[in-house]
Amino acid sequence: MPKRQARTQPQETPKPSTPPQLERVTATVRVLIIDDEPNVIQSLSDILKTHDMDSLGALYGEEGIRLAMEESPDVILLDSRMPGISGFDVCTILKEEERTTHIPIIFLTGRDITEENIIRGLELGAYDYITKPYRVAELLSRIRVMARIKFAEQRARELSVTDELTGLYNRRFLLQRLEEELSRARRYRLPLSCIMLDLDYFKRVNDDHGHQAGDQVLRHVAEVLRRECRKEDILARYGGEEFTVVISGDEQDGRGASERFRHRLETSPVAIEGGTLTITASFGVACYPNHLPEGDMNAFLHLADIALYHAKRTGRNRVVTYTPDLEAEKGPSPQTEAQ
């Protein structure tokens, strides 16, 4: 398969093709300490280490911001008073940045902290504050509470964009990300391919083997596609037995990736109770800007669906790339046809 065209726009953090696996909060909590006093960082680090927590230290606000973005700690302990960029400014920056906005911040303050500054810190997005000198048991308890809050919020965010059965992104998230990717493709004049695939004769699986077998097939297909996708590709369950993959690349890249997906599915039997099943899928590919000069998201999906319908009508287990002449052949949705 030809190498896909590399992105040439400014570097951005790639978003994974599938949601990260959620993990429960364990005894190992990672804490970033931002304080201009080295002895405070050392003291806190020693305390955290003796209670099975990991720590990072930063003496300056700028360094703390960099570490927060690179290391994504579970909790941040932030001194409110620091030379140069203040703790309040650090909090503002971290809460405005997508990568760090959800990290709980606990302000470390002196006994002379005013009620006005306490309110200011909380309104900027800090979760809590604790005064120096701190009581160890109280400090540890608050850190653990903040870590649990972070996990619970992360879980809620992931579930809102995740398909429960397969663990892939859901249609809601796909539409959001596809809009973003099309906007980026228009801005930097880059090709983008949309692949829609539908499992062949999936209804027969449910009818002949039961819905549990059908669920197992869907999970298996999701895992096969997950392994074949690059990190920056967007893989989602579109609905039912239909999946969508969005990749950076032109028509040749989209077709090549689809053929790879198709072959991998066809040669990866699904283990079900009482035996195995061979699963195939039909693929439709549309590409921006070749097929879609305007870059409209709904039209993009529609063109890929037209190609998918043609793949279904012409024998299944094949890849069809959109061409304008397919428009005249578009009838009912493939989902209304016998699966």
126 is written with which tokens? 């800090």
Q: Are strands 192-199 and 319-321 parallel, antiparallel or unpaired?
A: unpaired
Cβ pair 270, 276 in contact under 8 A:
yes
Strand boundaries in 87-181, DSSP class E: 105-109, 128-131
Cβ pair 237, 170 in contact under 8 A:
yes
Terminal-to-terminal C-alpha distance of the chain: 30
203 is written with which tokens? 């209804």
Beta partners for 197? 243, 283
DSSP three-state, residue 271: strand
CA 140 to CA 204: how far, in whole Å?
A: 56
DSSP three-state, residue 15: coil
Please pick, among 12, 98, 153, 241, the residue that the annotation labels catalytic: 241
CA 41 to CA 256: how far, in whole Å?
A: 53
Beta partners for 271? 276
241 carries an active-site annotation: yes
14 is written with which tokens? 């790639």
CA 58 to CA 65: how far, in whole Å?
A: 9
Task: Using only the alpha carbons of the chain, give its radius of gyration.
Answer: 25
Closest CA to 82 of 33, 24, 115: 33
| Separation of CA 252 from chain center | 26
List active site positions: 241
